[in-house]
């Protein structure tokens, strides 16, 4: 049976798995699951959980199930189920034929509940939600027993059956575990197992009008699927005694629950409730808004599954709460994009340059390197002609000392092309600069001067006649605060929304090789960052690019300073 081998443990969960394999627990099998509730889209925090669960299964030659924890029909929708399936697949994980739903087990869970009633370990309670709360006690005071706690097994069975048959309205009764109203752990004070809810379920329709709680569902579902390690986040630590109690009371196969600290990221909110609010109130354009740290938002922004998986592996797994620096996520992204992205030239805020000594009709095809990190990616031809665009901010009429780019009378290099000198600045009636008149040096073709003279700057450019027009969207953090929840008194996180998180630039000029760019294609626009074709709004006639990330690696820079 035992096909798993202990492996060098890189984190505390893998140490536990190793130990269980060594001691022969669970027949040496390793079987995990990722159990999302389909009440929203997955975010980067879920990616951590996915990478842990599927990663451990992969590392030990085990299995990992995808299981929808769909016990609350009021908040769950097919749209979310579909998106979760798409996102886990996109991240690169495979559950083979093991796609499950907690709702598949409603029948079995009902039988389990009956079994606990028969054992005298569960009872039907007629207390209102308010009465339940009142009797619950506090962290320092014990609770009080429900007056319905000592009903006979027969009466409990009868009432539970009638709950199921739809005889009672929502909230009229619950089924509760009979544990201990004086337990120091509030979760153990006769917790609710079943509630009445006359609501249609996305999968079971109107078959049920009572639904099991998360606590009564999760462990039993793990047990039914033969899960060995039920890995979840720290907020379930206090639920573990209840997880264990249900399984022991039922006397069924007992997986082991292990908790780890959830991922927190600076400038980012992960709670689905808040993400819902951002979408509903129109602060973003949808769950897949490229500023959202949902997996679909990140995909649209240009994140790769490799970058996200790498990030999740490198942040590690621990029990202590921590906040990961957003710049580290971007660092992992750049590492991946640097390897795979083609370099291109694009001008976001164009300034016209006329080379007065370049022939009117002439066009040259110059060689440009596709990726200096990877020679195999080859070279391409870039057209050059008399009228070009450069970046507006690469020119200053009256430059300060440290500005080395183009200025009147100054010489710079145009990437892959020639040296040029600015001779004249043309302005319109409002004193706005509209054109530069420059001369090029034909002897510097390819970007080097035969006489060895140097220039201090190399600019990117695009030939005006050949340029492709595009819209480019630049993004910044959605929130201005590292902790978006830290809002002024009386306000919520929306007070911290960054009004400049999206900047739309139209009339950007791209080199013509970008005309074939397809949805999701990734590029580095030289000196500007990594960009991808927007999967929703881009058309061949009107291309739209998203900036995935800039080139400035704040994380690497901070590391370098720390090392000094």
Catalytic positions:
37, 262, 272
Interface pick for ligand ATP out of 127, 233, 277, 385 (rule CB under 6 A) = 233
Interface pick for ligand ATP out of 13, 14, 32, 49 (rule CB under 6 A) = 49
DSSP letter (8 states) at residue 237: G
Task: Please list, in sequence order, all residues whose beta carbon lies within 8 angstroms of the beta carbon of residue 177, skipping any fewer than 6 positions away.
Answer: 116, 121, 122, 190, 191, 193, 216, 242, 245, 246, 249
CB of 33 to ligand ATP, least distance (A): 9
Residue 272 contacts ligand ATP per CB under 6 A: yes
CB of 69 to ligand ATP, least distance (A): 6
Q: Which of 366, 328, 351, 398 is nearest to 509 (CA)?
A: 351
Q: What tokens does 428 get?
A: 């319109």
C-beta of residue 83 within 8 angstroms of C-beta of residue 41: yes
Which single residue brings its beta carbon nearest to ligand ATP? 45
Nearer to ligand ATP, 88 or 117 (CB): 88
User: Mask: binding to ligand ATP, 281-300, rule CB under 6 A, as x and -?
Assistant: --------------------
Residue 239 contacts ligand ATP per CB under 6 A: no
C-alpha 177/C-alpha 11 separation (Å) is: 35
Interface pick for ligand ATP out of 232, 284, 347, 406 (rule CB under 6 A) = 232
CB of 270 to ligand ATP, least distance (A): 5
Nearer to ligand ATP, 281 or 431 (CB): 281
Q: Which of 520, 479, 519, 476 is nearest to 305 (CA)?
A: 520
Q: Which of 317, 213, 179 is nearest to 258 (CA)?
A: 317
Q: In what order do the strands lie in the sheet with 346-347?
A: 342-344, 522-525, 529-533, 544-549, 468-475, 502-510, 346-347
C-alpha 250/C-alpha 253 separation (Å) is: 9
CB of 427 to ligand ATP, least distance (A): 53
Which residue reads 């709004």 in tokens?
A: 537
End-to-end CA distance of the chain: 53
Phi, psi (5° rounding) for residue 330? Answer: -65, -35
Written as one string, the DSSP assignment of 386-422 is: SEEEEEGGGB-SS--TT--SB-TT-EEEETTS-EEEE
Nearer to ligand ATP, 112 or 260 (CB): 260
User: Mask: binding to ligand ATP, 17-46, rule CB under 6 A, as x and -?
Assistant: ------------------xxx-------xx
DSSP letter (8 states) at residue 396: -
C-alpha 313/C-alpha 310 separation (Å) is: 5
C-alpha 36/C-alpha 91 separation (Å) is: 15
Nearer to ligand ATP, 26 or 45 (CB): 45
Nearer to ligand ATP, 260 or 461 (CB): 260
CB of 263 to ligand ATP, least distance (A): 4
Nearer to ligand ATP, 146 or 213 (CB): 213
Which range, of 70-78, 215-223, 266-274, 296-304, touches ligand ATP by CB under 6 A? Answer: 266-274
Cα 430-433-437 angle, rounded to 5 deg:
135
Residue 48 contacts ligand ATP per CB under 6 A: yes
Which range, of 165-173, 250-258, 262-270, 453-461, touches ligand ATP by CB under 6 A? Answer: 262-270
C-beta of residue 439 within 8 angstroms of C-beta of residue 411: no
Residue 270 contacts ligand ATP per CB under 6 A: yes
CB of 106 to ligand ATP, least distance (A): 18
CB of 256 to ligand ATP, least distance (A): 15
Q: Which of 262, 375, 343 is nearest to 511 (CA)?
A: 343
C-beta of residue 555 within 8 angstroms of C-beta of residue 326: no
| Burial zone of 18 (CB within 10 Å; 0-12 exposed, 13-18 middle, 19+ buried) | middle
C-alpha 353/C-alpha 467 separation (Å) is: 13
Site for ligand ATP in 405-444 (CB under 6 A): none
Residue 262 contacts ligand ATP per CB under 6 A: yes
Which range, of 103-111, 216-224, 269-277, 332-340, touches ligand ATP by CB under 6 A? Answer: 269-277
Nearer to ligand ATP, 45 or 484 (CB): 45
Nearer to ligand ATP, 146 or 230 (CB): 230
CB of 232 to ligand ATP, least distance (A): 4
Interface pick for ligand ATP out of 10, 271, 515, 542 (rule CB under 6 A) = 271
Interface positions with ligand ATP (CB under 6 A) = 35-37, 45-46, 48-49, 232-233, 262-263, 270-272
């Amino acid at each position: 049976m035992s096909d798993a081998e202990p492996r060098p443990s890189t984190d505390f969960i893998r140490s536990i798995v190793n130990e269980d394999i060594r001691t022969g627990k669970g027949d040496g099998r390793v079987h995990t699951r990722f159990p999302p509730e389909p009440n929203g889209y997955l975010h980067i925090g879920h990616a951590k959980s996915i990478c842990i669960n599927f990663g451990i299964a992969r590392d030990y030659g085990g299995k990992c199930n995808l299981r929808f924890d769909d016990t609350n029909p009021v908040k769950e929708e097919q749209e979310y189920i579909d998106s979760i399936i798409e996102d886990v697949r996109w991240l690169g994980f495979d559950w083979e034929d093991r796609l499950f739903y907690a709702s598949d087990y409603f029948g079995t869970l009902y039988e389990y509940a009956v079994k606990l009633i028969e054992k005298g370990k569960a009872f039907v309670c007629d207390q209102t939600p308010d009465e339940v709360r009142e009797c619950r006690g506090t962290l320092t005071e014990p609770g009080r027993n429900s007056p319905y706690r000592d009903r006979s097994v027969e009466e409990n069975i009868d009432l539970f059956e009638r709950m199921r048959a739809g005889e009672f309205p929502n909230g009229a009764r619950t089924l509760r575990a009979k544990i201990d109203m004086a337990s120091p752990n509030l979760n153990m004070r006769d917790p609710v197992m079943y509630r009445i809810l006359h609501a249609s379920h996305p999968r079971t329709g109107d078959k049920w009008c009572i639904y099991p709680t998360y606590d009564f569902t999760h462990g039993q579902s793990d047990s039914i699927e033969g899960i060995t390690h039920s890995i979840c986040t720290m907020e379930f630590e206090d639920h573990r005694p209840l997880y264990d109690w249900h399984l022991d009371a039922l006397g069924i196969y007992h997986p082991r629950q292990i908790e780890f600290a959830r991922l927190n990221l600076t400038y980012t909110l992960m709670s689905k409730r808040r993400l819902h609010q951002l979408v509903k109130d129109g602060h973003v354009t949808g769950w897949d808004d490229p500023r959202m740290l949902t997996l679909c938002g990140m995909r649209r922004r240009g994140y790769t599954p490799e970058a996200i998986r790498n990030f999740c592996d490198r942040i590690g797994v621990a029990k202590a709460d921590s906040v990961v620096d957003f710049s580290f996520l971007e660092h992992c992204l750049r590492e991946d994009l640097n390897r795979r992205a083609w370099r291109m030239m694009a001008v976001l805020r164009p300034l016209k340059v006329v080379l007065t000594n370049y022939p009117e009709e002439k066009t040259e095809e110059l060689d440009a390197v596709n990726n200096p990190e990877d020679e195999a990616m080859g070279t391409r031809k870039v057209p050059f002609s008399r009228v070009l665009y450069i970046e507006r901010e690469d020119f200053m009429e009256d430059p300060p000392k440290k500005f080395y780019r183009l200025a009147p009378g100054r010489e710079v290099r145009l990437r892959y092309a020639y040296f040029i000198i600015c001779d004249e600045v043309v302005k319109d009636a409002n004193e706005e600069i509209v054109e530069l008149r420059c001369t090029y040096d034909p002897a510097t073709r390819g970007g080097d001067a035969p006489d060895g003279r140097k220039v201090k700057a190399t600019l990117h450019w695009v030939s005006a006649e050949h340029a492709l027009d595009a819209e480019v969207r630049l993004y910044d953090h959605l929130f201005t605060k590292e902790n978006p929840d830290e809002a002024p008194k009386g306000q919520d996180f929306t007070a911290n929304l960054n009004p400049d998180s999206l900047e739309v630039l139209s009339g950007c000029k791209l080199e013509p090789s970008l005309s074939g760019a397809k949805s999701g294609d990734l590029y580095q626009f030289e000196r500007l960052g990594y960009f991808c074709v927007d999967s929703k709004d881009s058309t061949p006639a009107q291309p739209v690019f998203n900036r995935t990330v800039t080139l400035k690696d704040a994380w690497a820079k901070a590391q370098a300073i720390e090392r000094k």
